[in-house]
A = this chain, B = another copy of it.
Amino acid sequence: MKIVLDGMGGDNAPFEIVKGAVEASKETEYQICIVGKEDQIKAELENYKYDPEKIKIVHAEEVITNEDSPVKAIKRKKESSMVKGLTMVKEGEGDLFVSAGNTGALVVGSRMILGRINGIDRPALASIYPVLGEKACLLVDAGASSEAKPHNLLEYGTMGSIYVEKVLGRPQPKVGLVNLGVEEGKGTTVTKAAFKQLSQAPINFIGNVEAREVPAGACDVIVCDGFVGNVILKLTEGLAWSILKLLKKKFLDGLKAKIGALFLKDKLGELKNEFDYSEYGGAPILGVEGPVVKMHGSSNAKAVKNTILKGIPYAQEGVVDIIKNAITDLEEIIASEQ
- Tell me the A253-286 residues at the B interface (CB within 8 Å): 253, 256-257, 259-264, 266-267, 270-271, 274
Chain B residues whose C-beta falls within 8 Å of the C-beta of A267 in the assembled complex:
250-251, 253, 257, 260
CA distance A325 to B58 in the complex (A): 66
Chain B residues whose C-beta falls within 8 Å of the C-beta of A68 in the assembled complex:
none
Interface size on A, residues (CB 8 A): 55
Chain B residues whose C-beta falls within 8 Å of the C-beta of A264 in the assembled complex:
250-251, 257, 260-261, 264
Q: Is A187 an interface residue (CB 8 A)?
A: yes
Q: Is A214 an interface residue (CB 8 A)?
A: yes
Q: Is A29 an interface residue (CB 8 A)?
A: no
Shortest C-beta distance, A276 to chain B (Å), equals 14
Among the listed stretches A11-19, A74-82, A118-126, A239-247, which one makes contact with chain B, having 4 or more residues with CB under 8 Å of it?
A239-247
The answer to whether B227 touches A210 (Cβ under 8 A) is no
The answer to whether A188 touches B235 (Cβ under 8 A) is no
- Residue of B at shortest CB range from A254? B267
Chain B residues whose C-beta falls within 8 Å of the C-beta of A146 in the assembled complex:
180, 187-188
Q: 1/0 per residue A131-173: CB within 8 Å of B? A: 0110000000001001100000000000000000000000000
The answer to whether A215 touches B231 (Cβ under 8 A) is no
CA distance A231 to B211 in the complex (A): 5
The answer to whether B211 touches A249 (Cβ under 8 A) is no
Q: Is A236 an interface residue (CB 8 A)?
A: yes
Chain B residues whose C-beta falls within 8 Å of the C-beta of A237 in the assembled complex:
212
Chain B residues whose C-beta falls within 8 Å of the C-beta of A132 in the assembled complex:
242-243, 245-246
The answer to whether B187 touches A133 (Cβ under 8 A) is no
Contacts A132-B243, A250-B267 hold; do A230 and B261 have CB atoms under 8 A apart? no
- Residue of B at shortest CB range from A186? B146
Shortest C-beta distance, A242 to chain B (Å), equals 4
- Please tell me which one of the listed residues B216, B231, B233, B274 contacts residue A238 in the complex, with CB atoms under 8 A apart: B216
- Please tell me which one of the listed residues B226, B260, B270 contacts residue A250 in the complex, with CB atoms under 8 A apart: B270
The answer to whether B246 touches A230 (Cβ under 8 A) is no
Shortest C-beta distance, A46 to chain B (Å), equals 38
5 contacts between A and B (CB under 8 A): A132-B242, A132-B243, A133-B246, A146-B187, A257-B263
Known: A180-B226, A239-B240. 14 other contacts (CB 8 A): A132-B245, A143-B180, A147-B188, A147-B189, A210-B230, A211-B233, A212-B235, A214-B235, A228-B228, A231-B232, A247-B271, A250-B267, A250-B270, A260-B262
